[in-house]
Chains A and B, each alone.
Chain A
Amino acid sequence: DAMVIQNPRYQVTQFGKPVTLSCSQTLNHNVMYWYQQKSSQAPKLLFHYYDKDFNNEADTPDNFQSRRPNTSFCFLDIRSPGLGDAAMYLCATSSLGGWGETQYFGPGTRLLVL
């Protein structure tokens, strides 16, 4: 049973061409996160939502935006992708109050910028 779903799994875009990655969840979790992970590096938190409350990390480039229209869906918009934005993008969810408040990750979207 898929719990955190990311589409597409692979995305190819052109330098400077806007791209949107999507994430959906069936867990009804309050919190949704977007991470960027480059090869052999730690996942880096870009931003997260607590319900509709948006929290941007201080070092997240302005090129990255996010939308959460409802509990189930969250989108990552990259307005003008650069070559350095090629990475795996991971969506995760968690629920406040649960044991360990574990983050559940989706399978990720691997972005290639040409």
Chain B
Amino acid sequence: GQNIDQPTEMTATEGAIVQINCTYQTSGFNGLFWYQQHAGEAPTFLSYNVLDGLEEKGRFSSFLSRSKGYSYLLLKELQMKDSASYLCAVRDQGGYQKVTFGIGTKLQVIP
């Protein structure tokens, strides 16, 4: 099975940088996803890491260390619209791509 931990809430200021951490303990690992979910809406894909290192995509970057069971999502130049929950999700190694989601980190961006 999978156990995923991430902070439940964070607050950051518009224009700043924020890092959202995720740690996981898994019986198998085949990739880690970050999703953004606005209140009452479906999750939308942000990033995917399967190898160690940093993946950068515009204002968003995601980092993975498989040996440490650790990932972070970095958001730069925060905008008010970035206020949302950020879900860390881990995919199993075998089988039918089962993905287990963390509870999500609710980020509030303040002026």
A residues sitting closer than 8 Å to B (CB atoms) are 31, 40-45, 48, 50, 53, 55, 88, 90, 94, 96, 99-108, 110
Q: Is the CB of A45 within 8 A of B42?
A: no
Q: Is the CB of A106 within 8 A of B42?
A: yes
Stretch of B12-20, B66-74, B94-102 on the interface side: B94-102
Q: Is the CB of A107 within 8 A of B42?
A: yes
Q: Is the CB of A102 within 8 A of B97?
A: no
Which residues of chain B are near A42, meaning CB under 8 Å?
4, 87, 100-104
How many residues of chain B get a CB closer than 8 Å to chain A's CBs?
23
Q: A42-B103, A102-B33 are in contact. Are A90 and B96 (CB under 8 A)?
A: no
Q: Is the CB of B42 within 8 A of A96?
A: no
Pairs A–B under 8 Å by Cβ, sample size 16: A31-B96, A31-B97, A40-B104, A42-B4, A42-B87, A42-B103, A43-B87, A44-B101, A45-B99, A53-B96, A90-B43, A100-B31, A100-B50, A101-B91, A105-B44, A108-B42
Q: Which residue of the partner chain, among B44, B50, B97, B103, contacts A41 with CB atoms under 8 Å?
A: B103
Q: Is the CB of B97 within 8 A of A43?
A: no
Asked if B48 is an interface residue, CB under 8 A from chain A, the answer is yes
Which residues of chain B are near A102, meaning CB under 8 Å?
33, 45, 48
Which residues of chain A are near B41, meaning CB under 8 Å?
107-108
Interface 0/1 of B1-35, CB less than 8 Å to A: 00010000000000000000000000000010100
Which residues of chain B are near A105, meaning CB under 8 Å?
42-44
Which residues of chain A are near B33, meaning CB under 8 Å?
100, 102-103
**Most B C-beta atoms less than 10 A away, residue of A31, A42, A50, A94:** A42
Q: Is the CB of A43 within 8 A of B96?
A: no
Q: Is the CB of B98 within 8 A of A103?
A: no
